[in-house]
Structure formats: C-alpha cells, structure tokens
Amino acid sequence: AVAKRDDVELHLYDLADDARGARRLQLVSDLRLAVAAATLEVFYQPKLDPRTGRVTGAEALARWQHPAEGFVPPDEFIPLAEHAGLIRALTSSVLRTALNACAGWRADGHDLTIAVNLSPRMLVDEHLPEQIEAALFEAGLPPEVLVLEITESAVMSDVQIARRVLETLRLMGVSLSLDDYGTGHSSLSYLATLPVNEIKLDKSFTLGLPYEPAALAIVRSTIALGHELGLTVVAEGVEEDGARALLADWECDVVQGYYYSRPLPASGFLAWLDAHADAVAAISR
C-alpha cells in the first residue's frame, strides 16, 4: 500500500513539474515578446536623507504586467530573462527608460540620481561600460547621476572580468552600490577591495528595526563599518518611522522604503516628488 501511495505521489509530482515547466516555457515566450515590444514598465522608488526627508534619488524597478497572469514579480521574471538570454535587452531598455526619466526630473529642477539594478550576468560583459557610456550620452546625463546596483553573488561568479568592468565604470564616474548587503556570500575582504562606493543593507535587517536585537546590532555596526571604509550606506525596506528615526540617529546616509513610498510609475513618481517637496518645505518653515 505504501509503495502504491508513493507511486501516486510521484505521478502527481511529475504532473506538477510538467505544469510548472509548461507555464515557465509560456512565460519565457511571453517575456520575449514583451521585451521586443518594449511593454515592460519601469517604476521608481524614492531614496531619501532620513534626517531631512530630502529626496536624493530614485531606484528604477522593472514591472511586467502579463496579459493573462497579471502582475509577475521581478524576482520571478528576472531569473527567466537571465536563463532565456533576454537580460541584456531587458537591462538596456530599463536603463534607457530610467535615464530619460531622470533627465526629465533634472530638467524640472529636481537634483536626483537614478539607480538601476544590474543582473549578475551583465558584469562579465566587457562591452558593458561603453554601452552605459552611450546610454548616458543619449540621455544627456553626466555619469555621476547613475548608480548601478550589483549583488555580491554577481561579483563572486567571475571575479576577474567583473572586477575589470567595475573598475572601468568607477573610472568613468558611475557609482556602484552593493545591493542586498549582508545576504548571500558576504565577504568583508571583497568589500574592502571591490571598487564600490555604496552598500545597500538588505531589507531583511531593516525590517527588524526598531525592536529585534540582532537586527539592531547588525544594522548599527554595518553602518559604522561602511563609514569606516568611506562608503555611502543605504538602508532599503524602511516601513516605519521607528526604523527611520534609528537609521537617522546612526547616521545612515540614505533610506528607501514603503514608509515614504512604494515604487511608482513615472507619472505618479513626479506627482509624489512635488507633493513631498511641498511637505518638506512646510515642515522646515
């Protein structure tokens, strides 16, 4: 009876696997179309100074509204794009859209930087720096306004080329941020030798503020460590004022999170910026 039940379960697993595989294939083919037709959207989430509330920049986050499935999260479609060879086209499209949006905000008098996420695979492409240079030139922006967010695992996978690419980008004047810092294969020696100028504390730590003792210790000491190394420290996942206040006390340079705003479509972001600027001005009057 046991063997029989196992058979049945195995069979069910097979079916489930097939169904997952079929959905995955369908998603990949739909994603290919979406990238080609440029129907992926870019949302923007503000990055702010936790003391003054001044907005320093925004992070660009890709969004995919699937015609049948609805919203598919980037944690699902970015890996698909990587495996299907679509990540270069996707990144290039997000980068160009984000740079153009940033150029618009700056023309409107908002002195903001723009952060774009780079997939691990992008860092082993020696042509990446020239592509980024071209995109900046087309948007009419200086390299100083661009922040590239990279993950530690990315850097680990092909250290030689990645390091060269990162060094070229830094020499160009582009900022490099170590995203999701503290997760993955964190290595302090990498932090000391990689040409990054910013670390972005993973939200899993920030979300533990202001009560969880381990989160308190990790966040406070990481801010201090980052500053000792001369790095800008950003905390993502700020959802409450209690977390914001602690981060401000500990002199975290930049914060980002639902407390201020969720990622917004371009038009919504501009409206948020104006309303927020008015609110900040009213408080400081």
* Residues at the site binding Mg ion, with contacts judged by CB under 5 A: 117, 149, 179-180, 236
Measured from the CB of residue 49, what is the shortest distance to ligand C2E in angstroms?
16
Which of 1-9, 17-25, 212-220, 234-242 is the region at the interface with ligand C2E (rule: CB under 6 A)? 234-242
Contacts of 59 (CB under 8 A, 6+ apart): 44, 45, 47, 114, 115, 116, 117, 149, 256, 263
CB closer to Mg ion, 180 vs 253: 180
Which residue number has the CB closest to ligand C2E?
257
Q: Where are the alpha helices (DSSP H) in the chain?
A: 2-36, 74-83, 87-107, 128-139, 152-157, 159-172, 188-193, 203-206, 213-228, 241-249, 266-284
Cis amide bond preceding 143, omega within 30: no
Which DSSP state fits 183? B
Kindly state the number of chain residues that form the binding site for ligand C2E, as judged by CB under 6 A: 24
- The site string for ligand C2E over 237-266 (x = CB under 6 A, - otherwise) reads xxx----------------xxx----x---
Task: Decide if 47 contacts 256 (C-beta within 8 A).
Answer: yes
Which of 2-10, 31-39, 71-79, 137-145 is the region at the interface with ligand C2E (rule: CB under 6 A)? 71-79
Binding site for ligand C2E (CB under 6 A): 45, 61-62, 73-75, 78, 91, 94, 117-119, 149, 179-180, 203, 236-239, 256-258, 263
